[in-house]
A and B are shown apart, each in its own frame.
Chain A
């Protein structure tokens, strides 16, 4: 069932990791840490990583973008070869990755962690050019700063329109956190303005907690679920309108989060299925479509595993341990992991959803009776404490990966 052990033959097993985000950077670092004999290469075009968690605070003017930036120096210092090139092609038969500059990398096992890409064919009128006028800001960086600038430039009394897609997509709770923090920005800086949220969904994670916070803090936020005609079905960039099933909304600032799919290299490697995402085995995160390729993070569909930075880091460590065993010709251990996602809806006001996950009958499931969301009726000090834990989480996880 498992391929020949490479270590026993005296060869140094070559592992290539594509994508230096929460999943890929963790995987590269932990592969090397798990077994120093592994030859680990991390392929990531950007010399600086921009973290997406907490970028909603950057949009709301509550946080400096500089604290979102991380370098790969310490990962390289651990003995990982960090190559700042894009991955252009994967030959899964010959087991070769071709980089943007033509360099070819042989691999024994390939780890793909390319994140998610916007689908520019899914929402009428919303293509890449449209995203320069109506930013998605669902990949941290220039898009984040563009949305921040647009909000800052908007006259008081303006309307901000957000469009949210159906599941699955990267970190769904972050879209409601963003709505909250844009509402916070408007309330404090542009009090005559309002936010309309057009949603393809009727229900969402931590809904009661968000709705209670909105009731308490943000009368300027109007959430339109699909059942109330909120489903966004197209944009007109020239007219600056976003249309839903029932109506057309004129926006002074539009934040359109389009449907998504696995990052392009996952598709090129043949690991994405018709949904655009990558089905994987539990335990090893090996692709169900292409042997020898493991898919991590937002690009993967792995049962109940959430598309969150926390889970991406957790499963990357599981995958690293499994890959290290596979190349030694051993059977990977049965893993288990915790996910905790914080949403901060105002300074000092946070809550969370947690889950414990284990593989059952070939699929990742949540352990019943564990996990769940923060309690609904608690004093504000509890929310304040969770906001502090959220900040601590960001510092801790980024220190583990990049520190």
Chain B
């Protein structure tokens, strides 16, 4: 079964990576690193602004697009979302959803 073979190849590749424990961390996509100025990376920070780590990527993309179009009311996220393309938003959302 060709599909299965490909699957095994991916898994073994991942195991090799895990064994190496790379010293340098994966880099955040363009724009993502600045979000943690307001969206706390750690839990237990006293703020009304939600954390992004571990959130659903699709929901984040939908929210950003709605901020950008003005459909979703905001104080500042509407102004910020206008600076990002769909591809950039998707990359940022995928990155945050993978954060612990």
Contact = CB atoms under 8 A, between A and B. Distances in A.
Interaction A to B: yes
A95 B3 CA distance: 54
Given A314-B37, A396-B39, A370 B79 contact: yes
A339 B31 CA distance: 10
Contacts of B81: 370
Interface string A351-375: 0101110100000000101111010
A354 B80 contact: yes
A371 B75 contact: no
A335 B23 contact: no
A385 interface: yes
A318 B37 CA distance: 13
A150 B21 CA distance: 57
B50 to A, nearest CB: 10
A14 interface: no
Contact of B30 (A328, A336, A370): A336
A356 B47 contact: no
Contacts of B79: 354, 370-372
Contact of B25 (A33, A310, A328, A385): A33
Contacts of B80: 338, 340, 354, 356, 370-371
B30 A396 contact: no
Interface in A381-403: 382, 385-386, 388-389, 391-393, 395-397, 399-400, 403
Contacts of A397: 37-38
A12 to B, nearest CB: 10
Given A321-B33, A371-B83, A37 B24 contact: yes
B31 A338 contact: yes
Nearest to A316: B33
Contact of A352 (B27, B28, B76): B76
B46 A395 contact: yes
B99 interface: no
B76 A317 contact: no
Contacts, number: 127
Interface in B25-76: 25, 27-28, 30-31, 33-42, 45-49, 75-76
Contacts of B39: 396
A313 interface: yes
A205 interface: no
Contacts of B28: 317, 321
Interface string A326-358: 001000011111111000000000001011101
A393 B80 CA distance: 15
Given A314-B33, A321-B27, A399-B40, 20 more contacts: A33-B25, A34-B24, A310-B34, A321-B28, A321-B33, A334-B30, A337-B31, A339-B34, A352-B76, A354-B79, A355-B83, A369-B83, A370-B83, A371-B80, A371-B82, A392-B45, A392-B49, A396-B39, A396-B45, A396-B49
17 contacts: A34-B24, A314-B33, A321-B27, A335-B30, A335-B33, A336-B30, A337-B34, A340-B37, A340-B38, A367-B82, A369-B82, A389-B48, A395-B45, A396-B39, A396-B45, A396-B49, A399-B45
Interface of A: 33-37, 310, 313-314, 317-318, 321, 324, 328, 333-340, 352, 354-356, 358, 367, 369-372, 374, 382, 385-386, 388-389, 391-393, 395-397, 399-400, 403
